[in-house]
Amino acid sequence: MTTTTIPVKLTRKDFVSDQTVRWCPGCGDYSILAQIQKTLPNIGYAKEDIVFISGIGCSSRFPYYMDTFGIHSIHGRAPTLATGLAITNPNLSVWVITGDGDGLSIGGNHLVHTMRRNVNLNIVLFNNRIYGLTKGQYSPTSRVGKRTKSSPMGSLEQPVNPIALALASGATFIARSLDAHTKHLGETLFEAAKHQGTSFIETYQNCVIFNPAEWGPLEDRRERDDHIIYLEHGKPLVFGKGRDKGIRINEQFLPEVVTLGDEYSEDDLLVHNETSKQQAYILSSIEYPEFPASMGVLYRKVKPTYTAGLMAQIAAARAQKGNGDLNALYRSADFWMVKERDEIRSEVTGSVPLGISDAYMAEMDKPAEETTAVQDVFTTQPIHALKPKVPITVERSATLAKAIRRMNAHNIGCLLVTDDDDHLQGIFTERDVLNKVAGLVADLSSAKVGDFMTADPISVNGDFLIAHALHLMSIHGFRHLPLVDNENHAEGIISFRDVVRFLKDSLS
């Protein structure tokens, strides 16, 4: 590969664009952006020979914040555009910025085939195990049991292992780092940029809004050394603040954590070999938090790139057949003329109109109906604007007598039933008392609320629109709706009266 001669020495500032960076305060994306900007002056490319391509997601705003060429493409297709660009101009440094949602769901197929082709580009996958931009749904890397807006009872799906996927797909440089360890991240990015072929860097990153504690101690400089193995080629897998723990392969050929001392020494530990794909598979299988997280270069292999092979084939074809004639190629085989017919006959029974009906077009041309002030309030204001009441709760193990006393004491018609961790389990209402308790239960002091409540009630999040709450009340005949946060903790309760009062205040 030939690189462009750089006339001036570049610095990080040369790669900072004039756009305001818009991520949530505290987001790890800021750290990744800073480290890439610090790394680029040292990789041997001019600014005009560096391109960033992204798909859709929080991470995919990246090209706007880099003072380089860039493409903000469509969902999951960044590897496809990057492949075409890297082949068309092999002298470029091409970077794909993607997330666990963008790259491993709709973009999974494109990611796999880019890696198996060994195209000369760098893929940085931000992994926060959540969909951040679309507000907190579980992602392809979310753990089993993860409760989110789209998995309120816990995800049932086995998470994708990005490192194992990259290995199986044929990437020739595979590494992992994390946003909070800036020095390590910068060093890892630099190693990836030097590699000829597909570089894949999984970067652990917390979503501070929807998944803030996913990586736990890994993000805390005071604790991370006890939970991270820093991989160095030719060095044993030792970790811990006191470097007193390590990974060995036991008699069943399984990795296990051991404590160094009388029974085990560094000689018993697995020695990292970044050229061994078999060992890389072992490291990919030991995942945090069950094992310490492996950080650094897991696998590196020098192999011919897709571009080199493709250009060699083109040169060989030209040597054999000369320069091609595109027009002749078009007309060489499977070529026929489509002739205009005077009449179109339908094979469908009955008449089929060939045009669009005038009535349909008239309907389409109608101007949009103007909304009323009431509709505007309901469709623009979130439920939080109603200032929901603090919920009055009762444990599901409480007696009916206690629950009814609590209703009377607070003059309310609805209690939220929670477990010991304040997760919403059900609701207990006046209707439940009338339909299930009155005249049917002889001893209120022994019967439990959990046996008479409405379990797994329909609930809403405070960020939902008021119109959504009204819709639920209407179709189900509810007077009350419980509010929960993203972890299903009871946050409040709203009633139809709250909506009426808010509407009156808004329109007065």
Considering the domain architecture, whether residues 407 and 485 belong to the same structural domain is answered as yes
- pLDDT value of residue 461: 84
What integer pLDDT is reported at residue 13 of this predicted model? Answer: 92
- Region 347-364: what's the mean pLDDT? 60
pLDDT at 353: 55
In a domain, 103, yes or no: yes
- % of the chain at pLDDT higher than 70: 93
Structural domain of 68: 12-235+272-306
Q: What does the DSSP assignment read for 68-124?
A: SEEEE-STT-HHHHHHHHHHH-TTSEEEEEEEHHIIIIITHHHHHHHHHHT-SEEEE
The string of pLDDT tens digits covering residues 61-76 is 999 999 999 999 999 9
Instruction: Give the predicted TM-score (pTM) of the model.
Output: 0.65
**Has residue 361 been placed in a domain?**
no
Query: What is the average pLDDT across 381-409?
Result: 89
Q: What pLDDT does residue 61 have? A: 94
- State whether 419 and 285 are in the same domain: no
Among 4-8, 417-421, 440-444, the minimum mean pLDDT is found in 4-8
On the 0-12 / 13-18 / 19+ scale of CB atoms within 10 A, 437 is: middle
Please choose, from the candidates 95, 109, 232, 106, the residue with its C-alpha nearest in 3D space to the C-alpha of residue 165: 109
Phi and psi (nearest 5°) for 387?
55, 65
Helical H segments across 322-445, by residue range: 326-330, 358-365, 373-380, 400-410, 430-432
Q: Is residue 326 part of a domain?
A: no
pLDDT band at 313 (very low <50, low <70, confident <90, very high): very high
- Distance, CA of 51 to CA of 83 (rounded, Å): 12
Rg (CA), the chain: 30
Could you give the CA distance from residue 354 to residue 359 in angstroms, rounded to a whole number? 14
Pinpoint the alpha helices (H) of 411-448.
430-432
d(CA 322, CA 313): 13
Residues 112 and 205 in one domain: yes
Residues 184 and 94 in one domain: yes
Distance CA 468, CA 384 (A): 12
Assess if residue 155 is contained within a domain.
yes
Residue 242 has pLDDT above 70, yes or no: yes
Average pLDDT, the chain: 88
Residue 110 lies in a domain: yes
**pLDDT at position 277 over 60:** yes
> Are residues 294 and 382 located together in one domain of the fold?
no
Are residues 295 and 414 located together in one domain of the fold?
A: no
Q: Are residues 279 and 424 in the same domain?
A: no
Q: Considering 248, 281, 306, which residue would you say is the last residue of a domain?
A: 306
State the CATH number of the domain containing residue 122. 3.40.50.970
In eight-state DSSP terms, residue 399 is B
Does one domain contain both 281 and 406? no
Same domain, 294 and 383: no
Last residue of a domain, one of 258, 288, 306: 306
Residue 204 resides in a domain: yes
User: Do residues 31 and 151 share a domain?
Assistant: yes
pLDDT confidence of residue 305: 95
Q: What is the pLDDT of residue 1?
A: 53
CATH number, domain containing residue 446 = 3.10.580.10
pLDDT of 234: 97
Residues 399 and 293 in one domain: no
User: For 90-147, what is each residue's pLDDT tens digit?
Assistant: 999 999 999 999 999 999 999 999 999 999 999 999 999 999 998 899 999 999 999 9
Same domain, 379 and 299: no
pLDDT digits (tens, 9 = 90+) for 314-344: 999 999 988 888 887 777 776 667 777 666 5
Contacts of 303 by beta carbon, 8 Å cutoff, 6+ apart: 118, 172, 197
| Domain C-terminal end among 249, 283, 306 | 306
Query: Which range among 45-54, 299-308, 361-370 shows the weakest confidence by mean pLDDT?
Result: 361-370
Determine what percent of the chain is predicted with pLDDT higher than 90: 56
Task: Give the range with max mean pLDDT: 41-50, 215-224, 379-388, 483-492.
Answer: 41-50
What type of residue sits at position 322?
A: G
First to last CA, the chain: 71
59 touches 97 (CB < 8 A) = yes
Q: Examine residue 211 and state whether it is found in any structural domain, yes or no.
A: yes
193 within some domain? yes
Domain count, the chain: 2
Return the pLDDT at 257: 95
d(CA 324, CA 317): 9
Confidence (pLDDT) at 41: 95
